[in-house]
């Protein structure tokens, strides 16, 4: 029942905002909708953490601990993003860059986007999961091109071209898994339910599963942003409106990663640990190296944040490659922490863009002096993302390294630490350039309205709280990790 509410509420809000011309009240309504999703997610998590998974519609929807955790992630970051969307849309309409018609389209698309992501994590059937991820691709293409400038058009073209190919490959991988399942035990009728695939996973033909898993890593990996399929990420995430970037970078990447995790569990059963581990390690290390090398010379802070996402996705891939319960729990915590911190950073950068009018690092100086609230939040957000205590990313990265060393991937962990050190230096120098220094004399200190800063600070505080005190999520993380761990 709760599961159906979780899906129905944003869907209805989407229809409502498509039909009605946009007003601030509609924007707040949409925010409240996502708040309801978050609350329902917490409710679902409370029920499944100690009980059996909930199913609805005869198994089409299935909520286990992992799905419930992802609903919480989507709800939390979605709340931040939709809160900021209200202000973003009002500013755009006031500046004449957008119309009410256009804004209601935006609002409807964002609600549809969230609904599709929720469907992807709640689906019990990997085919429905695929359809939902494909739907997110199509919806976000329009959102990326919302501003209708030349840059955003180029970004949305690249996005849909590359991600459609990736999604098609993921479809082929899914078909091959279905084929392997069909041929288990004398052509018994098989379906694409994840539970039944897990049940037969030890009997699936290894040759077919190898090909299928490779295609799935390539396909869903394109949506996750793993190198070498990452080239759409910097363009799309930098050209989209800030709330959409926050949603895409914080949540959509990890929803695609969730799909990979589900398939990895099946592949582990069919192929043993070695082959999936090797693929994920290769993809993860490549992403880290690519992100490290390209972050050194970044000139645009939104693209910098986007490449930073590539790095974190590489870390997630390495953690998933380790595969132990500790590793997966750390991966899930990292998903939440990264989502919060990246979301806050993108939203702040949207505010900075609106205030300063440029996205180039070289042209922004002394942010702490001129706009203390924004500068402070941006600075702390960077600190959070770089994995410094007390933020939760420190804890999750530490645990991932520990788990990787335990299973013999210590060398990969060492390389990842090296890349992270390079990225630390690069981001610190960019951040220092933007934040410190003294502004031109006589320029007054701008105050940012509380309605903007409060939720952003709240997000950062949440991230820090998770790093210090784990208890609200401890049992949920453990239960979720048990679902897909080795």
Partner 1 sequence: MSGSAYASSLELASGVVLVCAVVTLWRRSLSAIVKALAVQGVALGVVALILGVGKHDGVLIAVACLVIAAKGVVIPVLLGRVVAGDPASREAAPIVNVPASLVGAGALTFLAYGATGSVVALIPTTAGRLIPLGFATMLIGYFAMAVRRKAVSQIVGLLLVDNGIALVAFLATAGVPLLVELGASLDVLLAVVVLRVLAAQMWSKFGVLDLDEMRELHD
Using CB under 8 A as the criterion, which residues of the chain lie in contact with partner 1 when the complex forms? Answer: 127-128, 130-131, 134-135, 137-138, 141-142, 145, 148, 150-151, 153-158, 160-161, 164-165, 167-169, 171-172, 174-176, 178-180, 182-183, 191-192, 205-208, 210-211, 234-235, 238-239, 294, 297-298, 303
b/e burial code for range 210-235 (CB count within 10 A of at least 16 → b): bebbbbbbbbbbbbbbbbebbebbbb
Return the number of the residue (17 or 174) whose C-beta is nearest partner 1: 174
How many CA atoms within 13 Å lie on the side-chain side of 361? 22
Residue 227 beta carbon to partner 1: minimum distance, rounded to whole angstroms: 14
Query: Do residues 395 and 467 touch, judged by C-beta distance below 8 A?
Result: yes
Return the number of the residue (305 or 456) whose C-beta is nearest partner 1: 305
Residue 279, CA distances (Å) to 126, 158, 276, 285, 393 in order:
21, 25, 5, 10, 24
CA torsion, ordered 192, 197, 200, 206, to nearest 10 deg: 90
In angstroms, the CA 1 to CA 6 distance is: 9
Residue 155 beta carbon to partner 1: minimum distance, rounded to whole angstroms: 6
Return the number of the residue (207 or 472) whose C-beta is nearest partner 1: 207
Residue 302 beta carbon to partner 1: minimum distance, rounded to whole angstroms: 11
Q: Which residue bears the tokens 């309801």?
A: 36
Return the number of the residue (278 or 461) whose C-beta is nearest partner 1: 278
Residue 404 beta carbon to partner 1: minimum distance, rounded to whole angstroms: 30
Residue 73 beta carbon to partner 1: minimum distance, rounded to whole angstroms: 25
Residues 6+ away with beta carbon under 8 Å from 273: 323, 486
Residue 234 beta carbon to partner 1: minimum distance, rounded to whole angstroms: 7
CA torsion, ordered 160, 166, 170, 176, to nearest 10 deg: 130
Nearest to residue 22, comparing CAs of 114, 111, 142? 111
Return the number of the residue (162 or 460) whose C-beta is nearest partner 1: 162
Here the tokens at position 365 are: 């100086």
Mapped onto helix, strand or coil, the DSSP state of residue 331 is helix
Return the number of the residue (137 or 349) whose C-beta is nearest partner 1: 137
Q: Measured in Å, how far apart are the chain's first and last C-alpha atoms?
A: 31
Mapped onto helix, strand or coil, the DSSP state of residue 61 is strand
Return the number of the residue (144 or 318) whose C-beta is nearest partner 1: 144
Residue 435 beta carbon to partner 1: minimum distance, rounded to whole angstroms: 23
Residues 6+ away with beta carbon under 8 Å from 130: 167, 170, 171, 174, 259
Residue 276 beta carbon to partner 1: minimum distance, rounded to whole angstroms: 17
Return the number of the residue (429 or 438) whose C-beta is nearest partner 1: 429
């Amino acid at each position: 029942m709760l599961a159906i509410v979780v899906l129905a509420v944003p869907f209805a809000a989407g229809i409502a905002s498509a039909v009605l011309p946009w007003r601030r009240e509609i924007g707040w309504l949409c925010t409240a909708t996502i708040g309801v999703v978050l609350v329902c997610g917490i409710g679902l998590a409370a029920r499944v953490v100690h009980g059996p998974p909930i199913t609805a519609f005869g198994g089409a929807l299935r909520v286990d601990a992992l799905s419930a955790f992802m609903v919480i992630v989507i709800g939390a970051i979605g709340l931040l993003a939709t809160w900021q969307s209200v202000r973003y849309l009002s500013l755009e309409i006031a500046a004449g860059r957008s119309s009410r018609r256009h804004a209601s389209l935006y609002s409807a698309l964002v609600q549809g986007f969230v609904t599709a992501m929720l469907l992807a994590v709640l689906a019990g059937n990997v085919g429905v999961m695929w359809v939902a991820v494909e739907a997110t691709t199509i919806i976000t293409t329009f959102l990326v091109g919302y501003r209708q400038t030349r840059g955003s058009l180029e970004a949305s073209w690249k996005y849909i071209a590359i991600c459609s190919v990736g999604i098609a490959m993921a479809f082929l991988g899914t078909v091959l898994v279905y084929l392997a399942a069909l041929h288990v035990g004398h052509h018994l009728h098989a379906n694409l339910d994840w539970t039944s695939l897990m049940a037969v996973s030890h009997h699936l033909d290894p040759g077919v599963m190898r090909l299928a898993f490779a295609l799935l890593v390539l396909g869903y990996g394109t949506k996750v942003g793993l190198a070498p399929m990452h080239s759409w990420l910097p363009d799309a995430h930098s050209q989209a409106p800030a709330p959409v970037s926050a949603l895409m970078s914080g949540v959509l990447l990890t929803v695609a990663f969730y799909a990979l995790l589900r398939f990895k569990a099946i592949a582990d059963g069919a192929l043993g640990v070695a082959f999936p581990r090797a693929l994920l390690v290769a993809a993860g290390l490549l992403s880290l190296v690519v992100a490290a090398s390209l972050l050194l010379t970044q000139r645009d802070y939104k693209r910098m944040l986007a490449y930073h996402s590539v790095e974190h996705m590489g870390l997630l891939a390495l953690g998933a490659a380790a595969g132990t319960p500790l590793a997966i729990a750390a991966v899930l915590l990292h998903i939440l922490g990264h989502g919060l911190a990246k979301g806050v950073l993108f939203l702040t950068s949207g505010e900075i863009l609106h205030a300063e009018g440029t996205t180039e690092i070289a042209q922004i100086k002394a942010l702490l002096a001129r706009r203390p609230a924004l500068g402070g939040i941006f600075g702390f957000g960077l600190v959070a993302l770089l994995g410094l205590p007390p933020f939760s990313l420190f804890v999750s990265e530490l645990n991932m390294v520990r788990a990787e060393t335990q299973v013999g991937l210590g060398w990969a962990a060492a390389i990842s630490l090296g890349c992270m050190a390079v990225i630390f230096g690069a981001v610190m120098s960019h951040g220092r350039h933007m934040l410190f220094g003294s502004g031109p004399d006589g320029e007054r200190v701008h105050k940012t309205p509380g309605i903007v800063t409060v939720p952003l600070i709240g997000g950062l505080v949440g991230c820090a709280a998770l790093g210090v005190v784990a208890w609200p999520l401890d049992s949920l993380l453990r239960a979720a990790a048990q679902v897909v761990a080795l």
